[in-house]
Amino acid sequence: MRFSLVIFLLLSLAKLTFGQNVIGKWKTIDDNTGEPRSLVDVFERSGKVYGKITKLYRKPGEDPDPVCDDCEADDSRYLKKIIGMEIIEGLIKDADEYGGGSILDPENGKVYRCKIWVEDKTLKVRGYLGPFYRTQTWLKAD
């Protein structure tokens, strides 16, 4: 009985210590084509989580270094380069999820409330507009 309890406690501690983390580089995937769209570096700053686009996967003929011309004019990211842009801002850890911040979709310039979590070695990214939401699955980058 004691041995089982010790094993259980060690496994629980290992899960806490080696649990999956949202921090790192993640490949965003186009919902329609299944093709990679960008590489996002998710990082922590001052106790909050942010995400910055570090690479775009562009098709021939597409602008390789576009600006966010669909962003709202009063958004500080308006007409700024998308590569290097922070699209995830101010997420706070709450149990196994991070929320309370926002995410920008540079393709349409809209900002949504956001929540992220790791599930089955993928990053789930959920954007909310009122009671409605959409969840994307991002893949860990090599």
**Model pTM score:** 0.84
d(CA 50, CA 115) in angstroms, rounded, equals 12
**Domain encompassing residue 43:** 21-140
Q: Is residue 11, in this structure, part of any structural domain at all?
A: no
Q: Is residue 2, in this structure, part of any structural domain at all?
A: no
The CATH code of the domain that includes 51 is 2.40.128.520
pLDDT for residue 18 is more than 50: no
Q: Is residue 14, in this structure, part of any structural domain at all?
A: no
pLDDT for residue 99 is more than 90: yes
pLDDT digits over 25-83, tens only?
A: 999 999 899 999 999 999 999 999 999 999 999 999 999 999 999 999 999 999 999 99
Q: Is residue 46, in this structure, part of any structural domain at all?
A: yes
Q: Is residue 58, in this structure, part of any structural domain at all?
A: yes
What's the angle, vertex CA 120, arms to CA 113 and CA 93, rounded to 5?
40
Q: Which pLDDT does position 14 carry in this prediction?
A: 39
Q: Is residue 47, in this structure, part of any structural domain at all?
A: yes
Q: Which pLDDT does position 142 carry in this prediction?
A: 77
Contact status, residue 56 vs residue 83, Cβ threshold 8 Å:
yes
Contact status, residue 33 vs residue 42, Cβ threshold 8 Å:
no
Contact status, residue 125 vs residue 91, Cβ threshold 8 Å:
no
d(CA 39, CA 29) in angstroms, rounded, equals 9
Bigger pLDDT: 4 vs 140: 140
Q: Is residue 8, in this structure, part of any structural domain at all?
A: no
Contact status, residue 80 vs residue 73, Cβ threshold 8 Å:
no
Q: How many domains does the chain have?
A: 1
Range 117-136 average pLDDT: 96
Percent of the chain residues past pLDDT 70, beyond the cut: 87
Q: Which pLDDT does position 19 carry in this prediction?
A: 52
Q: Is residue 76, in this structure, part of any structural domain at all?
A: yes
The mean pLDDT of the chain is: 89
Bigger pLDDT: 32 vs 3: 32
Q: How buried is 83 (Cβ within 10 angstroms: 0-12 exposed, 13-18 middle, 19+ buried)?
A: middle
